[in-house]
């Protein structure tokens, strides 16, 4: 796992900063991460090699604000980093520095002999340890379950305008979905659909693309095709989700009482699971540490937070992700070092268990 790769600015995108502006931006970001308070020129003059006059620093702070790297909250004289400012920091400034040593306890979290037999406990422990050393939320996704297949499909008319589709998989899971129609549904159509869906689906893996193609059989009549288009999602939307292990919820909530709006969105995402798992699946394909900051998480409803994630797995395939999630004001260097170490430790563990 390597440090996040700097992005190449797109034409017309944010300009590259001058050396003095970079030094001031770095000082503002790191001081704000440490204190949580807006940072003014008086706080950084003479710090970190910034031996320019206060008036020069104020001028550069104004320019950084104009460029969108800093914002000016309320009537405070200080500035705080924006999402763009954090992104420039982690992509351009942080890679120039050596990351801190991995936190003690990460690699050792998987060393106990009992962990070799208890995969769930190993991943839950790792999520807890990541949370403890970063004061963020630690999240680990487990390996995908062995692909289940569809064993049987029932189509039932509950009421004249209500149809229920029940799907039973080879792993014993039962999924039910109810569909409402504007007019009464014919009994014969329901019986046909049950026979047709079993013929198309039984034996296919859950989530198979072949399944959707079979259900869209062009030889069907208009009536059957329209009905199948309505009820097919009972099968095509069926997914086997990986296990999700979350560590440090109570500690995280206690430490972040000032970020309630963002935390509420995160708690909802944890309850629903699906959006968060979809978000973490994006990190599964990248063999490096992945960062998503603020507005980059907007599609998942988690803007205002940041995600640092990496995949783990054997030499032949990626199996899951380890990540930390928290407010944009996080210690990115520590988060990257923690996630990288956790991914390496878990990769070594699963190589013994799964290979």
Q: Domains of the chain, with CATH numbers?
A: 19-96 (1.10.10.10), 107-144+242-354 (3.30.450.40), 150-236 (3.30.390)
- Rounded CA separation 150/169 (Å): 4
What tens-digit pLDDT sequence spans the chain (355 residues)?
444 444 444 444 566 799 999 999 999 999 999 888 899 888 887 776 777 888 888 999 999 999 999 998 876 678 999 999 999 999 999 998 888 887 777 866 665 444 445 677 888 889 999 999 998 999 998 876 655 788 899 999 999 999 999 998 876 667 889 999 999 999 999 999 999 999 999 988 887 778 888 999 999 999 999 999 999 999 888 776 677 888 888 777 766 545 566 667 677 777 667 677 777 877 777 778 999 998 888 766 777 789 999 999 877 778 889 999 988 889 999 999 999 999 998 888 877 666 5
Q: What is the total residue count of the chain?
A: 355
Burial zone of 166 (CB within 10 Å; 0-12 exposed, 13-18 middle, 19+ buried): middle
Query: pTM (2 decimals)?
Result: 0.70
Q: Are strands 137-141 and 162-169 parallel, antiparallel or unpaired?
A: unpaired
204 three-state secondary structure: coil
Give residues with Cβ within 8 angstroms of 220, minimum separation 6: 228
C-alpha dihedral sign at 109, 135, 26, 284: positive
**Distance (Å) of CA 269 to CA 16, 244, 251, 273, 274:** 35, 12, 18, 6, 8
pLDDT digits (tens, 9 = 90+) for 149-175: 888 999 999 999 999 999 988 766 678
Kindly tell me the sign of the dihedral angle through the C-alpha atoms of 65, 306, 309, 252. positive
Q: Which of 248, 255, 259, 338 is CA-nearest to residue 305?
A: 259
Residue (of 350, 353, 318, 342) closest to 108 by Cα position: 342
d(CA 329, CA 81): 9
Which among 204, 285, 211, 273 is positioned nearest to 244, based on CA atoms? 273
For the stretch 107-131, pLDDT in tens is: 666 654 444 456 778 888 899 999 9
First-to-last CA distance in the chain?
A: 21
Beta carbons of 331 and 302 less than 8 angstroms apart: no
Q: What is the pLDDT of residue 352?
A: 65
Residue 241 confidence (pLDDT): 67
Measured distance CA(61)–CA(40) in Å, rounded? 8
Whole-Å CA distances, 1 to 108, 120, 142, 280, 312? 19, 24, 19, 16, 9
- pLDDT computed for residue 236 by the predictor: 86
pLDDT value for 110: 67
Q: Which of 342, 285, 348, 349 is nearest to 318 (CA)?
A: 285
Which of 61, 59, 66 minimizes the C-alpha distance to 15? 66
How many other C-beta atoms are found inside a 10 Å radius of the C-beta of residue 271?
8
**Strand stretches in the chain, DSSP E:** 70-71, 80-81, 137-141, 150-159, 162-169, 174-180, 244-247, 290-293, 305-313, 318-327
The whole-angstrom separation of Cα 196 and Cα 165 is 13
Q: What pLDDT is attached to residue 208?
A: 73
Residues whose CB falls within 8 Å of the CB of residue 167, separated by 6 or more in sequence, listed in order: 150, 152, 153, 174, 175, 176, 177, 201, 234, 235, 238
pLDDT of 112: 47
């Amino acid at each position: 796992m390597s440090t996040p790769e700097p992005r190449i600015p797109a034409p017309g995108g944010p300009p590259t900063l001058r050396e003095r502006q970079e030094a001031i931006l770095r000082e503002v970001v790191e001081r704000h991460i440490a204190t949580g308070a807006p940072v003014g020129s008086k706080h950084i003059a003479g710090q970190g090699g910034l031996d320019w006059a206060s008036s020069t620093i104020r001028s550069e702070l104004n320019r950084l604000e104009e460029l969108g790297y800093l914002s000016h909250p309320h009537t405070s004289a200080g500035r705080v980093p924006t999402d763009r400012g954090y992104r420039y920091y982690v992509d351009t400034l942080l890679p120039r520095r050596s990351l801190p040593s991995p936190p003690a306890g990460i690699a050792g979290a998987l060393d106990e002999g009992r962990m070799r037999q208890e995969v769930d406990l190993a991943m839950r422990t790792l999520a807890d340890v990541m949370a403890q050393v970063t004061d963020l939320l630690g999240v680990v996704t487990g390996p995908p379950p062995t692909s289940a297949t569809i064993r049987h499909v029932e189509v039932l008319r509950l009421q004249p305008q209500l149809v229920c589709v029940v799907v039973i998989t080879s792993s014993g899971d039962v999924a039910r979905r109810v569909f409402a129609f504007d007019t009464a549904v014919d009994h014969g159509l329901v019986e046909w659909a049950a026979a047709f869906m079993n013929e198309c689906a039984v034996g296919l893996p859950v989530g198979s693309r072949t399944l959707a193609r079979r259900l869209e059989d062009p030889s069907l009549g208009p009536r059957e095709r329209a009905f199948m288009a309505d009820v097919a999602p009972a099968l095509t939307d069926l997914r086997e989700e990986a296990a999700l292990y979350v560590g440090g919820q109570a500690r995280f909530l206690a430490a972040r009482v000032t970020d309630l709006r963002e935390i509420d969105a995160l708690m909802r995402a944890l309850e629903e699971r699906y959006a968060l798992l979809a978000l973490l699946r994006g990190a599964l394909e990248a063999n490096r540490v992945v960062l998503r900051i603020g507005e980059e998480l907007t599609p998942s409803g988690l803007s205002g937070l940041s995600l640092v994630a990496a995949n783990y797995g054997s030499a032949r395939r990626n199996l899951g992700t380890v990540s930390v999630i928290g407010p944009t004001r996080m210690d990115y260097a520590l988060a990257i070092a923690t996630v990288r170490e956790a991914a390496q430790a878990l990769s070594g563990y699963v190589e013994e268990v799964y290979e």
